């Protein structure tokens, strides 16, 4: 944008005169002899001011004025009008002219008017620039605020999740002590019951009603013992024996054990394992439990109608990732926050320990577990275990219960 001045007049004399007067004052002067040419020059040269004759052949001065103001608002317009046309001056000012000069004009007058318009223009433009800058800054502040709010919300959510996990962890540890103690105590008299029932049974006539009763006692005792063993597994690490473990081999082994179950329930397993996964230092029995519990949940979820079971494993810089997904009914949203709680179950014969065992093991290795579920489309559990393979010794002491 120059401080140039465009003079538009069809009279060569006026054009020459105005150009000369303005030129000697150091302005860069452009000339045009018609409205059309004037508009073209404005578009090309972007003069600060256009000195525009009102009476032009072709496009008249009023139209040229309107178009310049509309299309190039930074070019200010001063109109040249003949004497006796003061009343149209009002119209011109309304249409956006900054000033008007009556013909014939004196050079001194012309310079003064142009000088004034240039000053006003400079002030207005810098004002406009300031306003734009202010708006830009306000927008920036607003977007910072939004970003800040977003981050605070994100951190709050993270904190809440961490707090919940901590509480659950503490709950598990406290519960572990009580449960392990109780389970241990109950198993002693239970062993005695089992023993006496066996003695009674052996003295009875096979197939008699009494023998059947004794058998039922033995079955129920076994069931209680099974539950107690599960309880013990939930609450403590009994035989922690870390060694170098190759996770895909563990998954294979568990899948092998489930082979018949898969077939019976029309479950199609698919293992997708990234080649070259490293070994980690861990207790193979614990890792087996992770797979066993997740897979049996998935199979139970798909029982009856069959479906797909996916086991995926891959690594990044810090973790090995394990994803176990199924095409079952998924987990209702309202249950998602409860499924890792011990005793939470929706199954008639469930104990609600499976996932709390998985959680305990994953945590003891410094890992994390999360779940995703879509109604009617299945559930996916995602575990990450640190590659460091610290073996999670840290939490062994805190979870210690009476060993069995």
Ligand X SMILES: Nc1ncnc2c1ncn2[C@@H]1O[C@H](COP(=O)(O)OP(=O)(O)OP(=O)(O)O)[C@@H](O)[C@H]1O
Binding residues (CB under 6 A) for ligand X: these are 293, 297-298, 301, 326, 328, 331, 335, 339, 344-347, 350-356, 379
Residue 356 within binding range of Mg ion, rule CB under 5 A: no
Q: Minimum distance between the CB of residue 322 and ligand X, rounded to whole angstroms?
A: 14
Q: Minimum distance between the CB of residue 322 and Mg ion, rounded to whole angstroms?
A: 17
Per CB under 5 A, which region of 169-177, 200-208, 297-305, 360-368 contacts Mg ion?
Answer: 297-305
Nearer to ligand X, 65 or 361 (CB): 361
Nearer to ligand X, 79 or 183 (CB): 183
Nearest to 121 by CA among 72, 82, 62, 80: 72
Nearer to Mg ion, 50 or 299 (CB): 299
CA distance 212 to 222: 15
Residue 298 within binding range of Mg ion, rule CB under 5 A: no
Q: Minimum distance between the CB of residue 373 and ligand X, rounded to whole angstroms?
A: 7
Nearest to 255 by CA among 238, 273, 274, 236: 273
Q: Minimum distance between the CB of residue 346 and ligand X, rounded to whole angstroms?
A: 3
CA distance 351 to 298: 16
- Interacting residue with Mg ion among 4, 47, 354, 378 (CB under 5 A): 354
CA distance 360 to 142: 44
> To 10 degrees, what angle do helices 107-202 and 354-364 make?
120
Q: Up-side HSE of residue 201: CA atoms within 13 Å toward CB?
A: 15
Work out what residue 328 binds among Mg ion, ligand X, none; the CB cut-off runs from 5 to 8 Å by kind: ligand X
Nearer to Mg ion, 107 or 345 (CB): 345
- Tell me the three state secondary structure of residue 190: helix
Work out what residue 379 binds among Mg ion, ligand X, none; the CB cut-off runs from 5 to 8 Å by kind: ligand X
Nearest to 39 by CA among 54, 29, 52: 52
Q: Minimum distance between the CB of residue 172 and ligand X, rounded to whole angstroms?
A: 12
Q: Are 47 and 2 in contact (CB under 8 A)?
A: yes
**For binding to Mg ion (CB under 5 A), which residues are involved?**
297, 354
């Amino acid at each position: 944008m120059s401080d140039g001045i465009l003079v538009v007049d069809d009279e060569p004399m006026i054009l020459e005169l105005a150009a000369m007067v303005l030129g000697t004052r150091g302005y860069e002067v452009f000339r045009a002899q018609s409205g059309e040419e004037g508009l073209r020059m404005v578009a090309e040269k972007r003069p600060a001011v256009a000195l525009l004759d009102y009476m032009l052949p072709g496009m008249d001065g009023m139209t040229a004025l309107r178009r310049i103001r509309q299309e190039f608002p930074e070019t200010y317009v001063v109109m040249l009008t003949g004497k006796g046309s003061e009343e149209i001056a009002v119209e011109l000012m309304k249409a956006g002219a900054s000033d008007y000069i009556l013909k014939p004009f004196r050079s001194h007058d012309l310079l003064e008017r142009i000088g004034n318009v240039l000053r006003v223009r400079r002030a207005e433009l810098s004002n406009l620039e300031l306003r734009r800058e202010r708006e830009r800054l306000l927008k920036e502040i607003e977007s910072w605020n939004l970003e800040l709010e977003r981050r605070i919300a994100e951190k709050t959510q993270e904190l809440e999740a961490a707090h919940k996990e901590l509480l659950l962890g503490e709950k598990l540890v406290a519960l572990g002590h009580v449960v392990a103690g109780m389970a241990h105590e109950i198993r002693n008299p239970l062993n005695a019951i089992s023993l006496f029932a066996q003695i009674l049974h052996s003295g009875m006539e096979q197939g008699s009603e009494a023998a059947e009763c004794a058998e039922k006692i033995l079955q129920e005792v076994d069931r209680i013992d099974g539950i107690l063993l599960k309880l013990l597994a939930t609450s403590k690490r009994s035989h922690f024996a870390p060694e170098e473990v190759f996770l895909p081999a563990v998954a294979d082994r568990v899948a092998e054990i489930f082979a018949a179950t898969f077939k019976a329930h029309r479950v199609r397993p698919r293992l997708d394992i990234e080649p070259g996964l490293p070994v980690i230092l861990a207790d193979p029995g614990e890792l087996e439990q992770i797979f066993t519990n997740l897979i049996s949940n998935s199979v139970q979820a798909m029982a009856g109608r069959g479906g797909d079971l996916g086991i995926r494993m891959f690594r990044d810089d810090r973790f090995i990732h394990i994803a176990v997904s199924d095409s079952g009914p998924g987990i209702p949203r309202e249950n998602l926050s409860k499924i890792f709680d011990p005793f939470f179950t929706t199954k008639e014969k469930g104990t609600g320990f499976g996932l709390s065992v998985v959680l305990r093991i994953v945590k003891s290795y410094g890992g994390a577990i999360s779940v995703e579920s879509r109604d009617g489309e299945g559930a996916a559990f995602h575990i990450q275990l640190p590659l460091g393979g610290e073996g999670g010794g840290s939490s062994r002491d805190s979870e210690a219960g009476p060993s069995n």
